[in-house]
């Protein structure tokens, strides 16, 4: 087994409870979307993002109300649309800066990410959320500022998370052989794509009993980051 020089981690269900994303972050952004757009549509980044949304969604005129309805429909569909992700990130940033939001990180994930960083393991994030949203959830977390631990943050601008080419691109950008990188995610499709790209992988299933590790048919499965540490980084 090639020694691991870098870890790439997913967020939802891996480092962070799904409930935080779906029951806290998404409702927070939805409740504030219309007001945020109307108050900031003249700001250059927001204006450009709204124009991208209209082009992507086929809204012919620069109609603010129609654009908001489009964005809300994408939220209902859980569509991974770039313009929506950007706006959500801007709204969340305001919430984090105001102290209303605090990113939830599993204790084992925070502990091991710090430990791996201290051991010289390079750390990256790859999530469907925007790069800014990733930085915020780790930078304003309930376990302290974890953002400096990471060398890079990748979102779907590099490619879909279920496509192997995305993971090859991440390895290339990191300047590493894919086999020296470990990808952690709760999503079987993402695990399969990373494995096809040559990365070592572990699927995180937090519904398993405590301290669980198994060699699944598709990939090893662990309940948390603790067994991963013992398997790959035990001194």
* Average pLDDT of every residue of the chain: 94
Would you say 155 and 181 are in contact if contact means Cβ atoms under 8 Å apart? no
> DSSP 3-state assignment of 6?
strand
Three-point CA angle 61, 92, 39, nearest 5°: 40
Q: Indicate whether 235 pLDDT > 70.
A: no
Question: For position 79, what pLDDT does the model report?
Answer: 87
Contacts of 175 (CB under 8 A, 6+ apart): none
Instruction: At 220, list the tokens.
Output: 């090893």
Residues 148-168 have a mean pLDDT of 96
pLDDT tens digits for 65-99? 999 999 999 999 988 888 999 999 999 999 999 99
Closest C-alpha to 50, from 17, 27, 76, 74:
74
Q: What pLDDT digit, counting tens, does each position of 195-216 carry? A: 999 999 999 999 999 889 998 7
Whether the pLDDT of residue 2 is over 90: the answer is no
Question: Alpha-carbon distance 159 to 113, whole Å?
Answer: 24
Rounded to an integer, what distance in angstroms lies between the CA atom of residue 145 and that of residue 203? Answer: 25
* pLDDT surpassing 80 at residue 186: yes
- pTM listed for this prediction: 0.89
Q: Are 42 and 80 in contact (CB under 8 A)?
A: no
Q: Is 95 helix (H, G, I), strand (E, B) or coil?
A: helix
| Per-residue pLDDT tens digits for 16-69 | 999 999 999 999 999 999 999 999 999 999 999 999 999 999 887 888 999 999
- Nearest CA among 136, 168, 140, 135 for reference residue 152: 135
In this predicted structure, what is the pLDDT of residue 1?
63
For residue 207, give every residue at least 6 positions away whose Cβ sits within 8 Å of its Cβ, in sequence order, or none: 223
Terminal alpha carbon distance of the chain: 15
């Amino acid at each position: 087994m090639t020694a691991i020089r870098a870890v790439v981690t997913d967020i939802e269900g891996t480092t962070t409870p799904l409930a935080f994303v779906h029951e806290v972050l998404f409702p927070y952004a939805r409740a504030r979307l219309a007001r945020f757009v109307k108050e900031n549509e003249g700001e250059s980044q927001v204006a450009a993002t709204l124009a991208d949304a209209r082009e992507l969604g086929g809204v012919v005129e620069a109609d603010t109300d129609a654009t908001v309805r489009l964005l809300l429909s994408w939220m209902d569909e859980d569509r991974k649309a770039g313009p929506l992700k950007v706006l959500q990130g801007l709204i969340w940033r305001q919430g984090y800066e105001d102290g209303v939001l605090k990113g939830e990180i599993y204790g084992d994930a925070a502990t091991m990410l710090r430990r791996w960083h201290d051991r010289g393991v390079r750390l990256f994030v790859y999530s469907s959320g925007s790069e800014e949203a990733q930085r915020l959830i780790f930078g304003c977390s309930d376990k302290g500022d974890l953002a400096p631990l990471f060398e890079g943050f990748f979102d779907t601008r590099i490619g879909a998370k279920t496509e192997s080419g995305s993971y090859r691109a991440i390895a290339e950008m990191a300047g590493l052989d894919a086999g020296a990188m470990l990808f952690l995610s709760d999503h079987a499709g993402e695990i399969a794509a990373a494995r096809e790209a040559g990365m070592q992988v572990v699927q995180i299933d937090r519904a398993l009993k405590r301290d669980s590790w198994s060699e699944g048919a598709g990939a090893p499965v662990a309940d948390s980051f603790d067994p991963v540490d013992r398997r790959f980084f035990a001194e």
